[in-house]
A and B are shown apart, each in its own frame.
Chain A
Amino acid sequence: GENVEQHPSTLSVQEGDSAVIKCTYSDSASNYFPWYKQELGKRPQLIIDIRSNVGEKKDQRIAVTLNKTAKHFSLHITETQPEDSAVYFCAAGNDKIIFGKGTRLHILP
């Protein structure tokens, strides 16, 4: 069945440094790849998404890359700030959306 693997499960970076989270997916029919941020006790919220006809997308300090051949996609956060501390989920699909298990990102002062 469809599966989305996400790594690492926990990531600690110094404030101001970059953070990278990587995901792989199994369903080659997937054409939509969103990333969600979930703060403690809150609902997941979309931060950026990419579709299969695009290899890269950037929004201020956040960028996503997609390699459809390898079935890999990644989230890059530059110049990290304390408010970036949260759990990040990648997801993939075209009709139904399957989520990864999440990465807990800690921004160290």
Chain B
Amino acid sequence: DAKTTQPPSMDCAEGRAANLPCNHSTISGNEYVYWYRQIHSQGPQYIIHGLKNNETNEMASLIITEDRKSSTLILPHATLRDTAVYYCIVTSGTASKLTFGTGTRLQVTL
């Protein structure tokens, strides 16, 4: 599975959009980009995933560049409850062996 690079931390004002970047320059053609988040010490929670097209669901949007070497997770209107560690994961999907790095710690402030 390709390696990912994320900034260690980011801040965002409540109500504003949070844009979390992820670099995955060695991604291969059959690998998907997944995003999970972990609030406090709870189990990680799935957010969204995609292959090459942009994706949107009720939680977030995922923008994948045309060359697929990077992506951005967008939380359109961040709230205090979105404060968490966000993990970007690239995997081929077989048995979904999710490899978690250290992620980005997003702090949403008033």
A binds B: no
